[in-house]
């Protein structure tokens, strides 16, 4: 599978908030645990049993959807990282840019060069995850001590 099917994934309708929405809307972001990118990468269902996916810095626990996100499953490539860039570009894996002056574009989290349309796609994915999964932390752009 080389791309994400956003047409099926974004059939979000206006409804009464579900348990995830209620929980996520009530979260105090300042009280969430902070993860480095290296720490987040461990939550892949192999190194740690939990499955975490981050979008725009917020970490979602997708462990209850092992069918799609578990090891060897279709979306496992999204686990353990902030996938904002991947989602905005509708990809499961980034192709290296080859540009030595823009290494950040080789990272799954970088969206600084996105068009309005690509940012809107990421926003829709964030809404999709927020309605289905619990936010359990935030990921920072740097590693401790750097």
pLDDT digits (tens, 9 = 90+) for 46-102: 999 999 999 999 999 999 999 999 999 999 999 999 999 999 999 887 776 666 555
pLDDT digits (tens, 9 = 90+) for 43-53: 999 999 999 99
End-to-end Cα separation, the chain, in angstroms:
36
Q: Which phi and psi angles does 120 have, rounded to 5°?
A: -65, -40
């Amino acid at each position: 599978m080389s791309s994400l099917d956003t047409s099926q994934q974004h059939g979000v309708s206006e409804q009464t908030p579900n348990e995830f929405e209620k929980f996520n809307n009530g979260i105090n972001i300042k009280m969430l645990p902070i993860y480095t990118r290296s720490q987040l990468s461990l939550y892949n269902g192999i190194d740690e049993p939990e499955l975490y996916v981050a979008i725009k810095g917020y970490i979602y626990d997708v462990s209850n959807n092992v069918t799609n996100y578990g090891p060897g499953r279709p979306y496992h490539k999204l686990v353990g990282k902030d996938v904002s860039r991947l989602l905005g570009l509708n990809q499961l894996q980034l192709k290296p840019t080859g540009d030595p002056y823009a290494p950040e574009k080789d990272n799954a989290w970088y969206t600084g060069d996105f068009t309005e349309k690509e940012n809107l796609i990421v926003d829709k994915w964030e809404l999709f995850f927020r309605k289905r999964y619990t936010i359990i932390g935030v990921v920072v752009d740097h590693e401790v001590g750097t």
